[in-house]
Copies of this chain bind each other. A is one copy, B any other.
Amino acid sequence: MTRPRPSDPTGLHRVLDPGRVLPQAAQRLDTRCELWPDEVRVRVERLNLDAASFRQLERKHGGDGAAVRAEVLDIVRTRGKMQNPETGSGGMLIGVVEEVGPESTLGLEVGDRVATLVSLTLTPLVIEDELAGWDGLGEQVPCSGYAVLFGRSIAARIPDDLPADLSLSVMDVCGAPALTARVVADYVEPTVAVIGGGGKSGSLSLAAARQAGAGRLIGVVPHETEAALLRDSGLADEVVVADARDPIVLRDEVHKAGGPADVTVVCVDVPGCEGGAILATAERGTVIFFSMATSFPAAALGAEGLAADVRMVIGNGYVPGHASYALELLRGNDGVRDLFERRL
């Protein structure tokens, strides 16, 4: 076998684009089955599509599951990875390690059941079953095929004490609680507002903020059904029903609930929440954007246009120890666990 270039821990050696770009930015990845010495190959059991990506596909095809499935197959075949061309996002996968290169430093062994904690947007992927077991109607995609992890990728063993789909669902959003905890710890008993507090990353972020010393927790949800669930969970001190896309409503409702917030965490995957999040936040406060629907110019110019002295942070999905931290939050918090189990 010819290997045109040595491996790079970033996966650069699998990029097939003419220019030099990282795998995440690449149009097309090399999905060959043979491993470079620092790589790991995983036999895939299931893909978990990013929520923003799945919703876009669902909307585009008017809920026609077969059409959604056909498009996912086409994307993966064309690009060698699952990356929604509209949202730019991907998701994650679970599977079993089937080969470990001699120079891999990921600490994995053949037979380990793992979840990949790097995005599908940079993971070489081959689907071998045409997704025959998936109806195209949900984010969880049963799948037979293989994927490749690079020298610097991240994967976590799936714990034995929790159902696999529950673990996967937690690990999918585990960057949010870890980063929220860090930012909350920069303030003294801050008021924290979580937009989308009833969702997966939102409920974990509320639990993380509490543990990190938040003084008052405000959960914002889109309708009364979700408000009732969030109230029952005990995760928030105040639960507010508001359309996060309406900046004035969001500002006013968060203020009425004890805001403005010192830390605002945006966990809703709908476009147009930047202005409201900024207006809900106190001077010298921080907005953390976890939503993949966030627009960079809308945030940057929005804050400037409102003369808002807020720090705005791009939610980095990687914080060391994030997966085990999120799983600990779930194990130790019945409110979080209930909300997650309802969504499975």
Interface residues of A (CB under 8 A from B): 8, 10, 12, 19-25, 87-90, 117-119, 121-122, 152-154, 175, 245-249, 272, 274-275, 279, 289, 292, 294-320
| A272 pairs with B304, CB closer than 8 A | no
Q: Is the interface of A mostly helix, strand, loop or mixed?
A: loop
CB-nearest residue of chain B relative to A246?
B20
Interchain CB contact (< 8 A) of A311 among B19, B247, B316: B316
Cα–Cα, bound, A311→B183 (Å)? 10
Given A12-B248, A297-B87: A23 touches B305 (CB 8 Å cut-off): yes
Cα–Cα, bound, A290→B76 (Å)? 33
User: Which residues on the B side are within 8 Å of A117 (C-beta)?
Assistant: 304
| A275 pairs with B21, CB closer than 8 A | yes
| B296 pairs with A295, CB closer than 8 A | yes
Given A296-B294, A313-B313, A316-B312: A301 touches B24 (CB 8 Å cut-off): yes
| B296 pairs with A316, CB closer than 8 A | no
| B320 pairs with A309, CB closer than 8 A | yes
Cα–Cα, bound, A117→B308 (Å)? 12
User: Which residues on the B side are within 8 Å of A313 (C-beta)?
Assistant: 311-314
User: Which residues on the B side are within 8 Å of A319 (C-beta)?
Assistant: 309
| B305 pairs with A22, CB closer than 8 A | yes
Given A10-B279, A296-B294, A297-B87: A24 touches B316 (CB 8 Å cut-off): no
Cα–Cα, bound, A107→B304 (Å)? 19
User: Which residues on the B side are within 8 Å of A153 (C-beta)?
Assistant: 305, 307
Interchain CB contact (< 8 A) of A292 among B275, B297, B316: B297
| B316 pairs with A308, CB closer than 8 A | yes
CB-nearest residue of chain B relative to A243?
B20
CB-nearest residue of chain B relative to A247?
B22
| B301 pairs with A89, CB closer than 8 A | yes
| A295 pairs with B88, CB closer than 8 A | yes
A85 to chain B, nearest CB (A): 11
User: Which residues on the B side are within 8 Å of A298 (C-beta)?
Assistant: 24-25, 88
CB-nearest residue of chain B relative to A308?
B318
| A306 pairs with B10, CB closer than 8 A | yes
User: Which residues on the B side are within 8 Å of A307 (C-beta)?
Assistant: 118, 152-154, 318
CB-nearest residue of chain B relative to A295?
B296
| A275 pairs with B311, CB closer than 8 A | no
